[in-house]
């Protein structure tokens, strides 16, 4: 596995997003399956593991800590604060809350360190910018955590180039994490270039377009808790329109000699050396397929054909619904 720079950390070019084992795409996998996936990733040479307080309201961090802490020196650990589960009514039921106040960030970090069974988190992101709190205040709290030795580097998730620059003026931003794939091109508006100019790594989540680029699916059979049910691109009518892009895409994968998921991740790797994809998965088999993308070489002609086939003009539907769009700070293409 080739390496790329994540701030000061050399990490595997392809990392592992640890959301899917307990969050977002229906019922979580069993703990044994989660352990199998995490250990398989480490054994396969993955040295970049990405989790968050939000995922399973602490479950993902707990599993990473339980099964990987004994090998802590072998990988770079990233997690996130600023969006987590909170018991707002006192009945024990947790709800997702965005809270970027300094005191909340510091408390979330302390809880994360315990769940992760570590003394320090290598890269700690603000999961969402709480627009009720100046970004300078939230990043200031993260900077305090660096000085306290609780975290080593600061990251931001789903922010614009303007917000990145404001934050970077307070404390160096090691990485920006945002959805990026053939069908989500928002980072190309400004933040990719801003990252390159500032020496900030760009971490691409959902590199296989939330499964869209892996193969045709029946959106009517999504689990009731699958977050894609609320995403406009996966509505039955929009998905039917978007699925028309897949035969041409699969044909290119066949021509290149790789799987569809490998093609999607390889496209990202070819977009820039400062781009680090973190596919998420629930199985070791899918993980190993994803990692094969590191060995896929794409010609300029293939890259151009992929760009022309799947982009912001050919994909139907917003990536988030109205609420989701209101919670992010990323640039967006005009509709």
Which residue of the set 55, 125, 180, 320 is catalytic?
A: 55
Rounded distance, CA 4 to CA 13, Å? 5
Q: Where are the alpha helices (DSSP H) in the chain?
A: 31-43, 59-68, 102-116, 135-147, 161-170, 191-198, 236-242, 246-256, 260-271, 284-291, 300-309, 322-327
C-alpha Rg value of the chain to the nearest Å: 19
> Are 328 and 320 within 8 A, CB to CB?
yes
Rounded distance, CA 58 to CA 56, Å? 5
Rounded distance, CA 217 to CA 213, Å? 10
**Residue 55 is a catalytic residue:** yes
* 3-class state of residue 165 by DSSP: helix
Q: Give the DSSP letter of residue 133.
A: S
Q: Which are the catalytic amino acids?
A: 55
């Amino acid at each position: 596995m080739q390496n790329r720079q994540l701030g000061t950390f050399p990490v595997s070019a392809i990392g592992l997003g640890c959301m899917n084992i307990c969050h977002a795409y229906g019922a979580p996998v069993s703990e044994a399956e989660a352990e199998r996936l995490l250990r398989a990733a480490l054994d396969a040479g993955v040295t970049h593991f990405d989790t968050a307080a939000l995922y399973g309201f602490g479950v993902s961090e707990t599993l990473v800590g339980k099964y990987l802490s004994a090998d802590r020196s072998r990988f770079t650990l990233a997690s996130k604060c600023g969006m987590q589960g909170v018991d707002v009514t006192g009945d024990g039921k947790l709800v997702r809350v965005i809270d970027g106040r300094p005191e909340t960030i510091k408390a979330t970090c302390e809880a994360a360190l315990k769940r992760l069974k570590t003394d320090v988190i290598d890269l700690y992101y603000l999961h969402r910018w709480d627009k009720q709190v100046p970004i300078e205040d939230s990043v200031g709290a993260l900077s305090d955590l660096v000085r306290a030795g609780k975290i080593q580097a600061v990251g931001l998730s789903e922010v614009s180039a303007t917000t990145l620059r404001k934050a970077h003026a307070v404390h160096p931003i090691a990485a920006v994490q945002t959805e990026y794939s053939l069908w989500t091109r928002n980072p190309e508006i400004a933040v990719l270039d801003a990252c390159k100019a500032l020496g900030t790594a760009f971490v691409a989540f959902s590199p296989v377009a939330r499964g869209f680029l892996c193969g045709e699916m029946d959106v009517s059979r999504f689990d009731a808790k699958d977050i894609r049910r609320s995403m406009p691109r996966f509505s039955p009518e929009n998905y039917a329109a978007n699925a028309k892009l897949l035969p041409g895409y699969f044909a290119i994968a066949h021509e290149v000699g790789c799987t569809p998921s490998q093609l999607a991740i390889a496209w990202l790797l070819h977009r820039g050396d400062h781009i680090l994809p973190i596919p998420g998965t629930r199985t070791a088999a899918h993980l190993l397929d994803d990692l094969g993308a590191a060995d896929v070489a794409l010609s300029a002609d293939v890259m151009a054909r992929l760009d022309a086939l799947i982009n912001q003009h050919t994909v139907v539907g917003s990536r988030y619904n109205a609420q989701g769009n209101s919670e992010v700070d990323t640039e967006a293409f005009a509709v």
